[in-house]
Structure 1
């Protein structure tokens, strides 16, 4: 039995450490404070009796739980990230424990009138009668992905304490900077030594994902010409107006707020400008590889069309691929998804198999030679003040990890 209070205490000890990552930094990890949790995790792994515990110069933490069976079993891994999103502050997190949730509004912060309401976040109603951990309304919580870390740590600890549960070699890995797209960049797949792995980085209970977006970033630079506005006729070129034409010429309904499921989008994430130069940053997303390439072409063709209208190069675009859909790497080894699905069913969790409208470390790791589906960690409303996680979901995720280890050993028993 996974002890509830132990899970709560472990989770709280992690989320109260500030590990916000910084996209403007070139270092790894991108913030020094991520070392605080990385070092804590390495120490805890050693204390619980894990083998080959390492923390490298970039704060990647790895460890091994040796096999306790006498037949060959592939090494499998479990991976989570310890940074939190820079979208909202992760400093001075003050978790609130809501016992036996009654299905009504939760006052996160009375002074600032911040309320977590099922009228807006109807997923809350799934968890009536359960124990929720919320924020105090002034920070994010950090369940993304410290819930995943809690579950992995608790699962390997449980396996150590219960040697009667038979398993092959289990690898664990904790990464920095996933929230800024760099979590897998310096992950040493060969050193990790797993044949396949699972990221514990999904949301609601039951999620099991092996498809994600193909992703690219596009930096658009619009060039203008500044002259005195009193004498500007026929001379001034206002880059902000050209930028506006570019923005409005992209498909208006193919944006995040108008799409769902496997539908892709163009997303303008940042804009800054003056008459002489305007800069736009877009992210481009699509599950389908052909549609993804077509989206990049749409942006390039639009720039070429506007440049032709002005008879000069007023728009420059640089597009960089970020990650790709892991489906093409996971489908050839679908037994790894089947094992996870069967593990969920074995612990009374109904699998929800769906595409990720985003990416995880697993998408990059899959293309680095480590097929890596994604499993629920249990949290909701990531990256903001309304984030929460049901404790019972973390317990179930821990049980799923244990069961995956057990089923993998059974599968390879001669």
Structure 2
């Protein structure tokens, strides 16, 4: 497959200039209409390839089908999925991608803000990229490799499949989703239309890595009801919900925080706080690989709230916990061939496949529990959600090769 004319870089450079930032405060789907701008471009490119059913639905999802070109009738339908939105954590408007050719280990100073410097000591994965071509933004925005690298890789794989009929495959489904970054990536997906036995999200980090395990996740809102009084006459009466909330956040143990945990350790993380004297709310995300521990972490929040409120006898609290997603390993372990074929495809693409866990979630976390088992394959994206985000051209090309090998393996094994 090295003889192919890869188009992934050109596609990626186009896609990242389109602002697709999602908005967690918006109730709509997609949360921002501008996500459809990229969706329309992808649909037109798919139609131009001859993929006749490509379309964008009213919710901002792109669907497409590449028909089977094999005589075998029993090849399972597989899907490749990436998300079009970028993180609300950093601006995605006016992205100016830069290719740093033939990287040799030097510091990469981003020209629009020279305080933004990519150093190998801070980005150790750069040490594996000597001689490769590194793509960054210009220093004032994120790049959008998360997950437009995956989008570009899937699109290039579509191009290769259409133009190289010698690659035998079953029916291939393509799915591009909105709002993954705000946890709603598959809220409105039409599973009947998708019709896939298994899927692969192309949304991982290091080349060669495959992820079959994610966090299980809950969201929690702690509501504090204080006692309001006129501040001029508040002595002995006012019990400010704002100050109570601040004490509760300060009481969270470091060893249960994102910055104090690693590997397979879970955490409780306050992500938002708002309110006034009479009432304040704290929004948390709760994460752990062991689903049973989520209840324990929620109980830790309750215990802190009750301990703090001992100082404020007139105040009360409530905690509302909602399920977000669950560890996809519970489902993938029931279908071991899905992961095995992914690992083999990575090896065939010339890398040493490595099976990993991800301290986060993907669209595949929820798709797996919706009946479409979906592990995650590398896209090559690094330092996502920030202005030092980067990806290498060569890693994106390896991801395209991995997708093509996966198509071949499912056809061979049927």
Q: Report the CA distance between 1:94 and its aligned residue.
A: 0.3
Q: Report the CA distance between 1:110 and its aligned residue.
A: 5.8
Pairs aligned (count): 412
Of 261, 266, 276, the residue aligned with 1:259 is 261
User: Is the counterpart of residue 220 in structure 1 residue 196 in structure 2?
Assistant: no
Residue 160 of structure 2 aligns to a residue whose secondary structure is helix
User: Is the counterpart of residue 115 in structure 1 residue 117 in structure 2?
Assistant: yes
**Counterparts of 1:137-286 in structure 2 under 5 Å?**
137-286=139-288
CA–CA distance in structure 1, aligned partners of residues 230 and 161 of structure 2: 73
Of 72, 83, 108, the residue aligned with 2:85 is 83
CA–CA distance in structure 2, aligned partners of residues 191 and 392 of structure 1: 34
Q: Report the CA distance between 1:347 and its aligned residue.
A: 1.3
User: Is the counterpart of residue 378 in structure 1 residue 397 in structure 2?
Assistant: no
| Structure 2: 5+ residue stretches without partners | none
Q: Report the CA distance between 1:197 and its aligned residue.
A: 0.4
Q: Is the 8 A contact 2:84 2:178 kept in 1?
A: yes
Going from structure 1 to structure 2, the CA distance change for 1:220 and 1:39 (only over 3 Å counts) comes to same
Q: Report the CA distance between 1:278 and its aligned residue.
A: 2.6
Q: Report the CA distance between 1:293 and its aligned residue.
A: 1.9
Deviations 1:52-81 (A, max 9, x none): 222211121111111111112001110001
Of 362, 370, 379, the residue aligned with 2:364 is 362
Partner of 1:63: 64
Residue 213 of structure 2 aligns to a residue whose secondary structure is coil
Going from structure 1 to structure 2, the CA distance change for 1:266 and 1:48 (only over 3 Å counts) comes to same
Partner of 1:21: 22
CA–CA distance in structure 1, aligned partners of residues 113 and 235 of structure 2: 55
Q: Is the 8 A contact 2:80 2:174 kept in 1?
A: yes
Partner of 1:343: 345
Q: Report the CA distance between 1:3 and its aligned residue.
A: 5.3
Q: Report the CA distance between 1:106 and its aligned residue.
A: 0.7
Deviates more, 1:398-407 or 1:321-330: 321-330
Deviations 1:223-242 (A, max 9, x none): 22232445433212122332
Deviates more, 1:308-317 or 1:141-150: 308-317
| Structure 1: 5+ residue stretches without partners | none
Q: Report the CA distance between 1:346 and its aligned residue.
A: 1.0
Going from structure 1 to structure 2, the CA distance change for 1:93 and 1:3 (only over 3 Å counts) comes to farther
CA–CA distance in structure 2, aligned partners of residues 19 and 325 of structure 1: 27
Spell out structure 1 runs of 4+ moving beyond 6 A: none
Q: Is the 8 A contact 1:101 1:127 kept in 2?
A: yes
Q: Report the CA distance between 1:250 and its aligned residue.
A: 3.1
Going from structure 1 to structure 2, the CA distance change for 1:217 and 1:70 (only over 3 Å counts) comes to same
CA–CA distance in structure 2, aligned partners of residues 330 and 411 of structure 1: 18
Partner of 2:300: 298
Residue 358 of structure 1 aligns to a residue whose secondary structure is coil
Going from structure 1 to structure 2, the CA distance change for 1:254 and 1:202 (only over 3 Å counts) comes to same
Q: Report the CA distance between 1:296 and its aligned residue.
A: 1.8
Q: Report the CA distance between 1:308 and its aligned residue.
A: 6.3
CA–CA distance in structure 2, aligned partners of residues 210 and 391 of structure 1: 25
Q: Is the 8 A contact 2:227 2:315 kept in 1?
A: no
Residue 42 of structure 2 aligns to a residue whose secondary structure is helix
Q: Is the 8 A contact 1:140 1:384 kept in 2?
A: yes
Partner of 1:41: 42
Q: Report the CA distance between 1:4 and its aligned residue.
A: 6.6
Q: Is the 8 A contact 2:112 2:139 kept in 1?
A: no
Deviations 1:294-347 (A, max 9, x none): 112222344345556645552122211111111111110011000000111111
Q: Is the 8 A contact 1:102 1:128 kept in 2?
A: yes
Residue 67 of structure 1 aligns to a residue whose secondary structure is coil
RMSD value, Cα:
1.7
